[in-house]
A and B are shown apart, each in its own frame.
Chain A
Amino acid sequence: DQQVKQNSPSLSVQEGRISILNCDYTNSMFDYFLWYKKYPAEGPTFLISISSIKDKNEDGRFTVFLNKSAKHLSLHIVPSQPGDSAVYFCAASPNYGGATNKLIFGTGTLLAVQP
């Protein structure tokens, strides 16, 4: 049962254009959502997060949007750069009533930014 879904295994965009990566979730108890980026032969690195009480969070070229009613979040990268080419994982933090490092990850989307 995949609680966090990234339905697009891959995405290709031109340099300078917008990249939009999508993520859907099924559990309404998730209270925090995160995006991680992973280059080959490296561990994932944290990119940006959003609390369930917000609908938008920005950090430079990266913006995450959360639509709780649709159980959907998206990551926008503007403008896209070749160095952004990587696998992007969406993750959710379940609300267990206590602090935890257990994250539920999606299967990832491979972003290729063409020069």
Chain B
Amino acid sequence: KAGVTQTPRYLIKTRGQQVTLSCSPISGHRSVSWYQQTPGQGLQFLFEYFSETQRNKGNFPGRFSGRQFSNSRSEMNVSTLELGDSALYLCASSLVPGQGTGELFFGEGSRLTVL
């Protein structure tokens, strides 16, 4: 079956702009979480959604927001982009939160470059 799909794969924005990233989880998966990967920082947790509700939020400013739709697809938005927002944004899904051993299924990510 299809894996986690993220769009767009690559995008370039300028400072001050806003961006919306999309994630379609594996069919049947209802839990979606987002992570930011930057060099030297590893993966940092952004948000977690289940049944259209945000369950957890990481330590990021309010410029970072997200939502989940009734079909479990999720979007995240970053407003007033800063140079430091350049990163790989990864979406991960699972059937339900904390499924099994905590294994998450990741998409290939959206590479955002802010100029």
Binding site for B on A (CB under 8 A): 4, 6, 32, 34, 36, 41-46, 49, 51, 89, 91, 93, 98-108
When chains A and B are docked, how far (Å) is the Cα of A91 from the Cα of B55?
19
| Highest count of chain A CB atoms <10 Å: which of B42, B98, B107 | B42
Using known A-B contacts A100-B48, A100-B56, determine if residue A106 contacts B103 with beta carbons closer than 8 Å: no
- Name the residue on A nearest B90 (C-beta): A43
Contact at B42–A102, with CB atoms within 8 Å? no
> Please, which residues of chain A bring their CB within 8 A of the CB of B101?
32, 34, 49, 51
> Please, which residues of chain B bring their CB within 8 A of the CB of A98?
97-98
Number of interface residues of B (CB under 8 A): 30
When chains A and B are docked, how far (Å) is the Cα of A108 from the Cα of B41?
9
Q: Taking the nearest CB of chain A, how far is it from the CB of B91, in angstroms?
A: 8
Contact at B90–A34, with CB atoms within 8 Å? no
Using known A-B contacts A43-B107, A49-B101, determine if residue A101 contacts B4 with beta carbons closer than 8 Å: no
Contact at A101–B48, with CB atoms within 8 Å? yes
Contact at B106–A102, with CB atoms within 8 Å? no
Q: Taking the nearest CB of chain B, how far is it from the CB of A18, in angstroms?
A: 24
Using known A-B contacts A89-B43, A100-B48, A105-B42, determine if residue A43 contacts B98 with beta carbons closer than 8 Å: no
